Structure 1
């Protein structure tokens, strides 16, 4: 049923919309440490001090025995807290393996879209794994590792009033976006006359949309498609908007040792088809098998 609905909502447009890579999930205790939301860290937890450069090097992280990884806690299926109170989702699936291979415990830091860069720059996290789209502007402030996923923007709206073109949005209508996302940036730059209703957290945006705020919700197309599949009465009228981009882990600008290790790790994981396994473990139920090879990217040196 989900697969049929997915095809109905997105059809071939999704394939062209997503030059993407898939990943997500996990809800068990890490070999490197607990991923329980109550134990594994809020942004207030201070496990180790950053160096004078504002970040911890690879050796400093190893010496401390803990790596701080920023993930979403409310954005299923990419990063969320499950019914057992554990962090789950693709980002966590990847994070667990990083901690295991680095030989350290994981301190999960609940992150929102708007504070991903801030948390890196202030040393609250060592790595961001929070569905982070690579842009030229962001690359001036953080260092991105190799991408694991491609993504475009999409727009979801109620099935009784489907928005299939941004030109159809009225002067008094509002479109929901999450602060700090590429959707906000794209609409502000390219459609300055569209009124935006901004929220800091995914859960807040979801609740507002379900309660009738806004004629549409613009976000990563993977997320709006997942929303439409999981919530009856909504349709992705615009499955591809703007440029196609990539999603990648990020570290603090200038943290060369951690970035080099992370890139080598991603290549090693790609060689064993880790990200296809991650898709099957966490995204398959939402997006179906037909799109696995379209969504998944296995990082390589080339």
Structure 2
């Protein structure tokens, strides 16, 4: 992990002459580039009509509406988990809203705004071979996405687990469906949704490690944009925006199985 962080910092130095767009530049160019997932329903995905949808996308559209007066002025940039930091460092996006968990390592190279969601790691496995305890993974293959908190957690705490790492969510879940691993570790909020559509699987471990937060991120030092986003999150809390977001994008997937208060963070306050 330290090598990865150092390499990202080194890469940032190479592009130091290219500053992130300021708030004034974003307004002048009349668009905001926001990195989201294209393959992680219900948080960020492309529907059959080719439109971006999901919890993060719903928030991104509101940012564009309040900043630029029109939600269609957001330019969605598809990212993968392992590329989120690099896309900020290289100025490919202004903001990352790709279900980005705040960690101390990431906070060294990007600036996180206030949180808008809570999350923990979970583990999904086949119902007929359910993994209920981490010790049951000893000597078995666990599937993870590169660059995720699950990747970082199990790279540090292998405990006899063999890791199979994939770049894209579609590859990761495809590997589980194909039986290339005994289980898959990912954000529990994503797994709860996925098993709804794949009932032959179950989230045998629903919380692993710490409860973390999801937050927007901007390039390190882009203080003006960061402060605007923080003020926006606080303002949106006054109208319970993220609860409405949950009702529109997550509740149809989760149903009554999940307590929204265990997921939603309103006004940036835990």
Same fold (TM over 0.5): yes
The structure with the largest helix share of the pair is 2
Q: Secondary structure at the match of 1:241?
A: strand
Q: Distance in 2 between matches of 1:288 and 1:145?
A: 29
**Which segment is superposed worse, 119-128 or 201-210?**
201-210
Measure how far apart 1:265 and its partner are. 0.6
Structure 2 equivalent of residue 132 of structure 1: 100
Q: Distance in 2 between matches of 1:192 and 1:108?
A: 39
Q: Distance in 1 between matches of 2:131 and 2:104?
A: 29
Q: Distance in 2 between matches of 1:189 and 1:163?
A: 20
Structure 1 equivalent of residue 198 of structure 2: 231
Q: Distance in 1 between matches of 2:262 and 2:143?
A: 27
Q: Distance in 2 between matches of 1:275 and 1:230?
A: 24
1:100 aligns with 2:65: yes
1:184 aligns with 2:151: yes
Aligned length: 252
Q: Distance in 1 between matches of 2:261 and 2:147?
A: 29
Q: Are 2:116 and 2:213, in contact at CA under 8 Å, matched by a contact in 1?
A: yes
Q: Are 1:54 and 1:121, in contact at CA under 8 Å, matched by a contact in 2?
A: no
Q: Unpaired segments of 5 or more residues in structure 2?
A: 1-14
Q: Are 2:18 and 2:91, in contact at CA under 8 Å, matched by a contact in 1?
A: no
Structure 2 equivalent of residue 269 of structure 1: 236
Structure 2 counterparts to residues 232-247 of structure 1, below 5 A? 232-247=199-214
Q: Secondary structure at the match of 1:206?
A: helix
Structure 1 residues 91 and 160: CA distance shift in structure 2, 3 A = same
Structure 1 equivalent of residue 79 of structure 2: 111
Work out which of the residue numbers 32, 40, 45 in structure 2 matches 1:80: 45
More relative contact order in 1 or in 2 (CA 8 Å, sep 6+)?
1
Report Cα offsets for 1:222-274 as digits up to 9, x if no partner. 11111111102101110010111000000000000000001001111111100
Structure 2 counterparts to residues 39-78 of structure 1, below 5 A? 52=17, 54-78=19-43
Q: Secondary structure at the match of 1:263?
A: helix
Work out which of the residue numbers 245, 252, 268 in structure 2 matches 1:285: 252
Measure how far apart 1:68 and its partner are. 0.6
Measure how far apart 1:169 and its partner are. 1.8
Report Cα offsets for 1:88-144 as digits up to 9, x if no partner. 001110000000111161111001000000000000000000000000000001000
Structure 1 runs (4+) greater than 3 angstroms displaced = 50-53
1:212 aligns with 2:179: yes
Report Cα offsets for 1:188-229 as digits up to 9, x if no partner. 112253111000000111111111110000000111111111
Report Cα offsets for 1:59-86 as digits up to 9, x if no partner. 1111111111000000000000001110
Report Cα offsets for 1:138-176 as digits up to 9, x if no partner. 0001000000111110000000100111211242x2100
1:164 aligns with 2:132: yes
Q: CA RMSD in A?
A: 1.6
